[in-house]
Structure 1
Amino acid sequence: MTRVDNPIIGISEEDVRCLHHPHDDALVVSVLIRDYNTHQVLIDNGSSTDILYYLAFQQMKIDREQLVSTNALLVSFRGTNVFPLSAVTLPVKVGDYPQQITKDVTFLVVDCSSAYNAILGRPTLYSWKVVTSTYHLMIKFLTDYGVGELHGD
């Protein structure tokens, strides 16, 4: 593979060719979290943290020894306080070879109901140099081999 220096991330009308408009869908994707194909992952530019819901954690059959205690406090949409059970750092892979990235993500593990299995927030999106587009229902990101992309489900 040839390494690409200084790729430019561009999003165009061509990127929406398969979408039905108008829409107001959330940007929900599938990613690989620790070798587990995880569906219903919300890409949330408004979230100040990355969240893994406890049910998804249990389904991944991860050893509880990997959980690290945390004193973080989250505020829900309803304004109520949510105390994470713990934190866990897991590898997350996005994109298709060779335009893919794998990075360790520290998730707060939360035991409450949700339509999602995980939320990727600003810390991860920033570290991956992600460009998000809810209009296009996709993210694009820089890799060593060009621009990778991930489309909403």
Structure 2
Amino acid sequence: MSVSHCSDEGSSLMPKRAKLDTSLVLGFSDEDKRGTIQPHDDALVVTFRIWGYDVRRVMVDEGSAAKVMYPDLYRRLSLRPQDLTAYSSSLVSFEGRSIIPMGMIRLPVQTGSDVVEVDFIMVDAFSPYMAILGRPWLHTLMAVSSTLHQKMKYPSRGQVLEILGNQAMARQCLITAIQHRPETDTLATVENDL
């Protein structure tokens, strides 16, 4: 501890407080790829605790500004239509169609011991995922994600915590998405076959 001297009149010794720089660095190195299958193009798919339930097949998507929930999860959480609040903007589905959301619902998403309230947009559309968490959620958690390293990192109580992705689950979701045929394509194929 250093000591500084104030003015001569009525001088008193005052300790200078050491300024501690406790900022955490959130980054990735080759070490973070350990345990992943490389090379790959897999999405970051994780399991989170949503509304008190462990929910698998949640995609963390830096490219999305939306936080989306799909019907399978909505039903499994035993939520009712009256639990939704109005939401009027349209979204674009995986098939490229414009869809009108059914509404919005706020639910807690837990990562480790941290809980963030998330306003999910409920859409009645096909998805191989149960939910998608995008940039707003990442920013609230102050998290960074890396599909290459199949993990996300975020600061919590003075340390950097990690959430690992599940590549097998990500690949299963990709296969499901590829095998899914929208109704319009199925109808067009049937009509062409007649």
TM-score (norm 2): 0.70
Indicate the SS of the match to 1:124.
helix
**Per-residue deviation, 1:77:** 4.2
Q: Which residue of 2 aligns with 1:85?
A: 102
Matches for 1:21-32 after TM superposition, within 5 Å? 21-32=38-49
Q: Which residue of 1 aligns with 2:90?
A: 73
User: 5+ residue gaps in structure 1?
Assistant: none
Instruction: Kindly indicate whether residue 45 of structure 2 is the aligned counterpart of residue 42 of structure 1.
Output: no
**Per-residue deviation, 1:54:** 1.6
Q: Which residue of 1 aligns with 2:147?
A: 134
Instruction: Kindly indicate whether residue 163 of structure 2 is the aligned counterpart of residue 146 of structure 1.
Output: no
**Runs (4+) of structure 1 moved beyond 3 Å?**
none
Q: Which residue of 1 aligns with 2:182?
A: none
Greater fraction strand? 1
Q: Which residue of 2 aligns with 1:109?
A: 122
CA contact (8 A) 1:55 1:111 kept: no
CA distance in 2, matches of 1:36, 1:144: 24
User: 5+ residue gaps in structure 2?
Assistant: 1-21, 167-194
Identify the match of residue 35 of structure 2 among 8, 18, 38: 18
CA distance in 2, matches of 1:34, 1:82: 25
**Per-residue deviation, 1:94:** 1.2
CA contact (8 A) 1:87 1:109 kept: yes
CA distance in 1, matches of 2:23, 2:53: 31
Q: Which residue of 1 aligns with 2:131?
A: 118
Q: Which has the larger radius of gyration?
A: 2
Greater fraction helix? 2
Give the count of matched residue pairs: 146
CA contact (8 A) 2:64 2:135 kept: yes
Q: Which range moves more in the overlay, 114-123 or 136-145?
A: 136-145
CA contact (8 A) 1:56 1:117 kept: yes
Instruction: Kindly indicate whether residue 46 of structure 2 is the aligned counterpart of residue 33 of structure 1.
Output: no
Q: Which residue of 1 aligns with 2:78?
A: 61
